[in-house]
Amino acid sequence: MAEFDGIKEAHNKIPRGWVLFFVGVIVWLVWYIVSYTPQISGWSQYKVFEEEMKAAAVSTAGVAGENPYKNSAAAVEEGRALFASNCSMCHGADLKGGVGPDLTGRLKYGDDDGQMFTTVSEGRPGGMPAFGQQLGRERIWKVLAYVGSVRERGGRP
Ligand code: HEC
């Protein structure tokens, strides 16, 4: 034991928990570097992104046929909100058109469920964006249930 200016210095043992923590951090650090270094593990943010996109794409691929929400009032209400936040800036809050065409009249890409699903999911060349990734299958059907209900009422939103 040394003594300087009246202050005693004892050699204290490092607490066991602290040593374990220290070793744990080093092990974790090595694991982290190994798994996220592309040259070692092949990990890449682009690969992760591509895989996420692939998984999301499956949810809208090959869907056609009938709208499962056609007769659901709750889905129509949800669709109304989805339309307001995703579509109304182009098609108008009343669906009568703006940047995009009137959705209450004749539709040039077709007005059966499958055709309209394809329009919204994949987009159309004249400026209709694809919503497949953003909304997914369920929400596309709901927004179309709402559009369909407006069309059935002769264009009254
Ligand atoms: C950025 C503006 C924009 C947004 C947002 C948008 N659309 Fe469109 N939409 C258009 C344009 C422009 C067209 C015409 C495309 C064409 O003629 O090729 C179109 C076409 C369509 C058509 C086909 C019309 C026809 O005559 O066949 C439907 C159905 C449609 N949109 C529904 C929607 C729905 C539902 C949403 C919301 C999920 C939406 N759109 C969001 C711009 C938009």
Residue 101, token pair as written in the block: 């065409």
pLDDT band at 5 (very low <50, low <70, confident <90, very high): confident
- What residue has token string 């040593």? 19
Q: Which of 119, 114, 115, 94 is nearest to 104 (CA)?
A: 94
Cα→Cα distances 128→6, 20, 51, 60, 137, Å: 82, 58, 26, 17, 17
Q: pLDDT tens for residues 19-68? A: 999 999 999 999 999 888 888 888 888 888 888 877 766 555 445 678 99
- So what's the pLDDT on residue 86? 97
Find the mean pLDDT for residues 147-155. Answer: 90
The protein residue whose alpha carbon is closest to atom 6 in ligand 1 is 87
pLDDT (tens digit per residue) in 93-144: 999 999 999 999 999 999 999 999 999 999 999 999 999 999 999 999 999 9
Q: Is 120 in the pocket of ligand 1 (CB under 6 A)?
A: yes
What is residue 51's predicted lDDT score, i.e. its pLDDT? 85
| Nearest ligand 1 atom, CA 143 | 35
